[in-house]
Each structure stands twice: as structure tokens, then as C-alpha cells.
Amino acid sequence: MRVTVHLPFCVGVENARWRAIRARATRRRRLPRTTTAIASDAVRGGNVAAFAVFAARRMGDAEARARRREDDDGGGDDVARGCASDAAAAPDGDGGRGVVVDVRELEKDALRRRFTSSVGACGADEGAIVDAGLKTTSRRPLAVVVHEVTYEVRKRGDAHARVRLLDDVSAVFPPGKISALMGPSGAGKTTLLDVVSGRKTQGYLRGRVVVGDEPASKAALKTCAAYVEQFDCLLPSLTVRETLMYQAQLKGGPDVSAKEREAHVERLLDDLRLRSCADVIVGSALSRGVSGGQAKRVNIGISLVTQPRVLFLDEPTSGLDSKTSYDLMRVIRKFADEDGVAVIATIHSPSSEAFRQFDRLLMLKGGRVTYAGPLFGEEGAETYFYSLGYFFDPNDNFADFLISTAADDAADFPREFAQSFHHKRNRDEVRKYIKDVVHRKSIGDTSSSLSSAIAEAPARSSFVNAVWTLLKYRTSRNYRNAQFVGARCAGHLIFAVVMATMYWNQGKSMSLASQINVSNMLFMNNVLPAFAAGAYLPSILMERPLLYRELDDGCYPLLAYITYKVIEETIAAFVVSLLATTIVYNAVGLVGNFAVDWLTYFGVQQCGAAIAYACAAVARDVDAANAILPVYNVLQILFAGLLLHAEDVPRGWSFWPPTLFVRYGWQAQMLNHFKRAEPSVFLDADGALEGVTGYYDIRGSVQGNVLFLYLLWIAWLALATIVTATVRHQQR
């Protein structure tokens, strides 16, 4: 229906009139709720022009939105028409007054839209296909329903008290619709998003979150849903295309062929309008890459490689200009329309154009619902707030109006909402859905949409494939980075050259002084690689947010990540240990088995790296890790046997030296060098002469010490894995 409203007197209405309207609104006179009553009230108040604008907006809204989408999509395609008819007749508020949303109908609707967009035909027996599809077909749309959710956390500084962050929140997030989560800062939007998406790592949760027909479990959500964090967390050295390929390979599993993967990524590049920057690196603050808006779209793209049924977005448009945020929302709109994805996005102050892409609104304040229901239309948020006395000036941004209105402390919005018709409608929508789920279970309907979605989801990458993918995309890039290679090689080679010049040919002499010099040199040859492990800390800690995100996304198991890290570090360590040992061995004139010296150096390096992983896992940040690692290494130096002979270690400390990898490395190299000739030139405690290994109380055999060294490497790796798995620094 086209409504034409003539506003001859609007011209004369200027700011004074609007100010008067606002003044009345802020006095919060409760206005009647029916259209006629609103009209008469407005007219009685002399606010005819305002009412005319209001009525025109309300009545033309559905039509205008439909037309806008048609225009945006190039006009006239099936999807746009689907939206248009939907907007005009949808039960979620753009249509009849007081109609409760039937989420099942919206599920069917989303399936129908996907069918028409993928098959490209509206003929056939669409209804039958949709009905059959809801029972059996793949990629059934999933609704998300939150039922009376209350979430509390422990109060800081008081172990027994709790703080309630969400209070009795109920809402429906239908498939194919974009729902906005709004409210003033600290309202609980991100908290709700985390609760619904199963990402909370602490706290006490009551109530139900249902996805499809089942209570949402973390594992199910990992499979069927994707979460786009507020801050981009990407690998800076990969190009946009490589980033999507990397994620597709990690998440795609063995069932998806390389060709299918490539085709999907190319499609995503088009859908996300990233083709123009497909071969540009993502970049970081230090190396310029794609723009902020493009990075946001890449971030969304990596969530879409698994074709999720539910998409959670935390402030997708924050920090973007109005054009970029509109483009972004158009992309998301397309996924909702064509794939029936249920989109739930927290949002702060989007541009008017971007905000028009949303269908529904859940507003929170202090963790309580202040509005839940359709965003636009006759039963939408504008009408609701008008009924509370808050009038929206059409010249303003509607999102800003909602936020500033909700922030008004003069009103108890949660209480107002609880008494409103809109609350009743929201409650009925939720109850209807829950009742339907319970009913289906009670009659033995086992065709759960969530279970089938999980079953249909592509199997995740195998352990070997995950390690291979990490090496292919990350290690190959890291080794092209001069800083990465430099941090791992330069220190070792500098130490080797300095020691070569310091101890030149000392190993060829067996004088007392030379034996002591060589013993000291071999000791430092083990201490320095242990200290050099500090070079691994920054990259491990900087990668941690990415690791958490990829673990949360189910990209790979933690063990695959540790394996990849060990292989990555081993490549550099293998080469650099060989070079460093060659320099020192030849320059100093060591006479033992070269392979033993090399393997020992390599083993000490690996132990150092494993301890660096463990420190990084324990420490909250780089500063803490940089403080912990040297403390441990100094404690090694003190007890490794050179500064205090093993037999002189106080009884209380006797447990400590056997745990030190530097000690085993030094002992192995000492025995290796001195085993052939070891003149007895040192006095023992009884005044008898003994060799240098006896003097330093070197124990065991070369093989035994090397074996212990490698056992300690495995033990430290195991510890690092356990600590990384159990200590989670990012609390949500």
C-alpha cells in the first residue's frame, strides 16, 4: 500500500516546534498506544506535522525497505522480492498488529529463500521441497532462542558475593534475520553474545539457550555457529586470499576437495567484495596492509568459510566509516537472505543506512531487557518508545535515538518493558518456540535440526592436515621474515664466533689452565642456548590471541599447534646448532665426537624452547614471561655443576640439579671432550690426584647424559602443553 502524505504546514514547523516535542517527550507523558490515539494526541498537542511524518514513516516503512533492498541488489531478483514480500507481510512486526513471530515459519521462509537463490527457480513444488527439507534436507536454517537467561559472576574481592550481569533475558533470533543487540556501554551485550555462543569461561548460568531444537552445547555451537570478534585477529603476513584458504583448509576437513575449497574462497572474495585486495597482505600496525574495513570483512570471511547457520558478531561496524559499515552490513544481509543465517550482532552507533539492514532488536540496560522485538515497522521499536513518550525526530539517526533514549536514567526502562504489550509478545514468541520443541520431543520427533546440522557439517581437519596447514601457511611465511630468522640465528652465531676467538685452540692442550678454560667454555656453550630461548617468547605471546580464537573456532587441537611450533623451531635450531657447533668445534680444537657436541647443543636449544613455551603459557604477558625465564636459567647456572660442585650442593637443594638440562648438556660435552685424555692434575678432597671430570664431579656416560637431555625436552614439552591447555589468560 502506497501512502502519500502531504505536509504543507511542515515547512513552517521548525526547530522551536521540535524542541517543544522533545520537551514533552522528556517529561515522559505516557501516550496512548493505538494509531488513532497517537494521532489525536499529536493533533491535540498541536503536533500535526510531527504526526504526519511519523505516520508516513510507519506506513511506508515496509515498502521503502523492500524497495531499498531491491535497488541495492540490482533490482528485481528473487531474493530481493522475497525480502520485499517478507517485509510487507512478515509476522515479525512489519505486518499485522500484535502478531507473534512464528519462528518455524521463518525457518521455512529462510529455507525457501535459500532454495530459490541456489536453484534459481521459483517453480517446481517449492512448498513440498521446503516441507521435506525441514524434515530431512541438509543445511536447515537454525533459530536461536534465549529463554529466561540469568548470568552471574563472582564479585571481585568477595568470594561469596555474585554480580548479576544478565537478568532474565528472553529473546528470539530467527534464521534469515539480522538481530541487533544494543544498549549503553556496560549493558551486557557482549556478555549475552558470549553466553549464547557458548564462549563464557566462567560464571553461573541459569535459563535456556536453544539452537534449532536442542539446548546449545559448546561442541554444537563450534560446528554450526561462527563468532566474529570485535577486534580483528589475523595473520599479518598472509594475503587476503591466503587467509581465507588457510582457514578453509583448517576447517574444511578431508571431505572437501582442494578445488571445492578454492571455488568457495573465490566466491567469498566476491561476496565480501574483497577481490580488489585479494593479493594484498593483511598487514599490521607495523606493516601496512589492507584497510580497516577490508580487514573486518576478512575477519567475517574466515567465519563464513564453514558456512555457519548462526553468525555472532561483536560490534562489526565499530571504527568504520559510514560507507564501509554500510557495505559490510549489505554483505551480512546477503548471507542472511540467501543462506538463512541467523545473525546476532552487538552494535553501537551504526550509520542510518547500515542500521536499516537490521530486522530485530534486543536492547539491554544493566543486563535487563528494555526492548525485544522487531526494529522497524508498526510494531517496532519506534512505536514502543513513542508509547513511553520518546519521540524520534526523523532527521536524527534512529540508532543514536535508541541508545540515547535507553541511557536516560529518568525512566526505569526494564520495568516499563516488563509491563508492555511488546514484552508479552516477546515472551509468547519464546514460549511458543520452546513449547514446540518440547512437544516435538514428547511425540518422539527425533529429526533435530541441530543434530542434523552437526552431522552435515564437514568433518574437521585431521591432526596431520592441521599441522601441515599450519606449517604451509605460517612457517613458510615466518621463514621469509628476516626478524623471525634473525632472532633465532644471530645470537647463536655471534656467541659461537666470540667463543671461537676467545678459546682458539685451547682444546688441543691438556694443561691445567686449558682444561679449566675448556670446561668453562663448554659450560657457556650450554648456558647461552638456554638463554637464547628468550627469543621465542614474543612471537608465542603475540600469537596467543590468535591461538585462543583458532582453538575456540575448533580449527585444530592444541597438540597440533604445539607440534607445529616444535617443527617450526626445530628447522632453525637444526641448522643454527650445526653451524655454531662447527665453528666452536674447529676453532677451539675440541677432540670428542662432533655429532655428540652437535646433538647436545641442539637438545639444549630444544629444551630452552620448550621452557619458553611453558613460561609463555604461565605468564600473562611478555613482561612477566621475560621475568620468569631468566630466573629459571640463573637457577640452572648456579646448580649445573661449574659454580658449585655437585658433591657440595646442600642437602636441601639436592633434588634440583638432576632436573637441569644445562647440567646434562655440559656433562655430555665434558665427557665427550675429555674421555680420550684426561691427565690427573686436580687434587681431590683427600689430596689424591684426579682428572678434570672427577674434579667437577661429572657423572654418567655421554649417551646417558644425552638421553636425559632429550627426556627432559619431552617432559618440558608435555608440561608446556598441559599448562597451555589449562591456564587460560583470556577470561570471558
Ligand X SMILES: Nc1ncnc2c1ncn2[C@@H]1O[C@H](COP(=O)(O)OP(=O)(O)OP(=O)(O)O)[C@@H](O)[C@H]1O
Least Cβ distance, residue 190 to Mg ion (angstroms)? 3
Give the nearest distance from C-beta 199 to ligand X in angstroms.
12
Residue 186 or 215: which CB sits closer to ligand X? 186
Interface characters, 201-220, with Mg ion (x: CB under 5 A): --------------------
Q: Which is nearer to Mg ion, 194 or 416 (CB)?
A: 194
Considering only residues 116 through 145, tell me which ones interact with Mg ion, judged by CB under 5 A.
none
Q: How far is the CB of 2 from ligand X (least distance, A)?
A: 39
Q: Residue 3 and residue 328: Cα distance in Å, rounded?
A: 31
Q: Hey, is 40 helix, strand or coil?
A: helix
When CB distances are held under 5 to 8 angstroms depending on the partner's kind, the choice from ligand X, Mg ion, none that residue 129 binds is none
- Residue 194 C-beta: closest distance to ligand X, Å: 8
* Residue 165 binding target from ligand X, Mg ion, none, CB below 5 to 8 Å by type: ligand X
State which residue, 101 or 402, has the beta carbon closest to ligand X. Answer: 402
Q: Is 578 helix (H, G, I), strand (E, B) or coil?
A: helix
What cell numbers appear for 493 in the block? 652465531
Cα separations in angstroms, 5 against 55, 65, 244, 334, 596: 8, 18, 50, 32, 92
The number of C-alpha atoms within 13 Å of 50 and in the hemisphere containing its C-beta is 26
Contacts of residue 681, Cβ cutoff 8 Å, sequence gap at least 6: 512, 515, 689, 691, 692
CA distance linking residue 392 with residue 401, whole number of Å: 7
State which residue, 133 or 203, has the beta carbon closest to Mg ion.
Answer: 203
Whether the CB-CB separation of 346 and 312 falls below 8 Å is answered with no
Measured from each CB, the residue nearest to Mg ion is: 190
Residue 442 binding result from Mg ion, ligand X, none, given CB thresholds of 5 to 8 Å by partner type: none
Residue 188 partner contact from ligand X, Mg ion, none using kind-dependent CB cut-offs of 5 to 8 Å: ligand X
Residue placing its CB nearer to Mg ion in the complex, 190 or 383: 190
Nearer to Mg ion, 204 or 231 (CB): 231
599 binds, among Mg ion, ligand X, none (CB under 5 to 8 A by kind): none
Minimum distance between the CB of residue 190 and ligand X, rounded to whole angstroms? Answer: 3
Least distance from ligand X to the Cβ atom of residue 294, Å: 23
**What DSSP element (H or E) covers 143?**
none
Nearest distance, CB of residue 548 and Mg ion, angstroms: 17
- Build a one-symbol-per-residue string for 699-728: x at contacts with Mg ion by CB under 5 A, - elsewhere: ------------------------------
- Grid cell listed for 32: 496512548
Residue number with CB closer to ligand X (159 or 643): 159
Contacted by 649, from Mg ion, ligand X, none: CB < 5 to 8 Å by type: none
Shortest Cβ 170–ligand X spacing (Å):
17
What are the residues whose beta carbons fall under 8 Å from the beta carbon of 243, sequence distance 6 or more? Answer: 234, 235, 282, 298, 301, 302
Among the listed ranges 182-190, 251-259, 601-609, 692-700, the one in contact with Mg ion (CB under 5 A) is: 182-190
Q: Which of residues 622-661 bind Mg ion (CB under 5 A)?
A: none
Binding track, positions 491-510, relative to Mg ion; x by CB under 5 A: --------------------
Output the smallest distance, CB 345 to Mg ion, in A.
11
Asked whether 90 and 69 are in contact (CB, 8 A), the reply is no
**Binding-site partner at residue 96 among ligand X, Mg ion, none, CB < 5 to 8 Å by type:** none
Q: Say how many residues touch Mg ion, by CB under 5 A.
A: 1
Q: Which is nearer to ligand X, 44 or 156 (CB)?
A: 156
190 scored as a contact of Mg ion (CB under 5 A)? yes
Q: Which three cell numbers stand for residue 190?
A: 557482549
Give the helix/strand (H/E) hosting 236. none
Q: What is the CA radius of gyration of the chain?
A: 34
* 340 vs 510: CA distance, rounded Å: 81
Q: What's the min distance (Å) between Cβ of 367 and ligand X? A: 7
Residue 391 DSSP SS3: coil
With CB under 5 to 8 Å by kind, the binding choice for 223 among ligand X, Mg ion, none is none
**Under DSSP, is residue 668 helix (H, G, I), strand (E, B) or coil?**
helix
Enclosing H/E stretch for 12: none
DSSP state of 344: E
User: Of ligand X, Mg ion, none, which one does residue 185 interact with (CB within 5 to 8 Å by kind)?
Assistant: ligand X
Q: How far is CA 579 from CA 116, 184, 543, in A?
A: 64, 60, 29
Q: What's the min distance (Å) between Cβ of 355 and Mg ion?
A: 17
Residue 188 or 641: which CB sits closer to Mg ion? 188
First to last CA, the chain: 48
CA separation (Å) from 240 to 300, 314, 478, 510?
12, 21, 17, 61
Cβ proximity to ligand X: between 166 and 238 the closer is 166
Give the integer Cα–Cα distance in Å for 128 and 132: 6
Q: Are strands 214-215 and 204-211 parallel, antiparallel or unpaired?
A: antiparallel
**CB contact burial 92-109 (16+ within 10 A = b; e otherwise):** bbbbeeeebbbbeebbbb
Q: Given the complex with ligand X, which of 176 and 188 has the nearer CB atom?
A: 188
Q: Which does 334 bind (CB under 5 to 8 A by kind): ligand X, Mg ion, none?
A: none
Residue 350 Cβ, how far from ligand X at the closest point, in Å? 13
Sequence-distant (6+) residues with CB within 8 A of 627 are: 619
Interaction of residue 317 with Mg ion, rule CB under 5 A: no
426 contacts Mg ion (rule: CB under 5 A): no
Q: Which CB sits closer to ligand X, 32 or 186?
A: 186
Sign of the CA dihedral with 246 first, then 252, 255, and 258 last = negative
Smallest distance from the beta carbon of 726 to ligand X, in angstroms? 19
Nearer to ligand X, 165 or 282 (CB): 165
Which residue's CB is nearer to ligand X, number 185 or number 419? 185
Q: Say which DSSP state 262 is in.
A: H
**How many CB atoms are located within 10 Å of the residue 177 CB?**
28
Q: Which is nearer to ligand X, 190 or 600 (CB)?
A: 190
**How near is the Cβ of 165 to ligand X at its closest, in Å?**
4
In the complex, the smallest distance separating the C-beta of residue 186 from ligand X, rounded to whole angstroms, is 4
Q: Which stretch binds Mg ion (CB under 5 A): 118-126, 189-197, 414-422, 593-601?
A: 189-197
Q: Are 666 and 640 within 8 A, CB to CB? A: yes
Interacting residues with ligand X (CB under 6 A):
153, 163, 165, 183, 185-191, 731
Smaller CB separation from Mg ion, 190 or 606: 190
- Provide, rounded to whole angstroms, the least separation between the CB of residue 177 and Mg ion: 21
Q: How far apart are CA 294 and CA 243, in angstroms?
A: 12
**Closest to 505 (Cα-Cα) out of 599, 612, 586, 572:** 586
Nearest to 719, CA basis, from 593, 632, 591, 589: 632
Give residues with Cβ within 8 angstroms of 209, minimum separation 6. Answer: 144, 145, 146, 147, 149, 195, 196, 198, 215, 216
Among the residue ranges 103-111, 184-192, 658-666, 711-719, the one whose residues contact Mg ion (CB under 5 A): 184-192
Gap between the Cα atoms of 644 and 450, Å rounded = 65
Q: Which stretch binds Mg ion (CB under 5 A): 185-193, 242-250, 399-407, 470-478?
A: 185-193
Map residue 215 onto helix, strand or coil.
strand
CA 491, CA 75: separation in Å to the nearest integer?
63
For residue 36, the partner it binds in ligand X, Mg ion, none, with Cβ less than 5 to 8 A by kind, is none
Binding site for Mg ion (CB under 5 A): 190
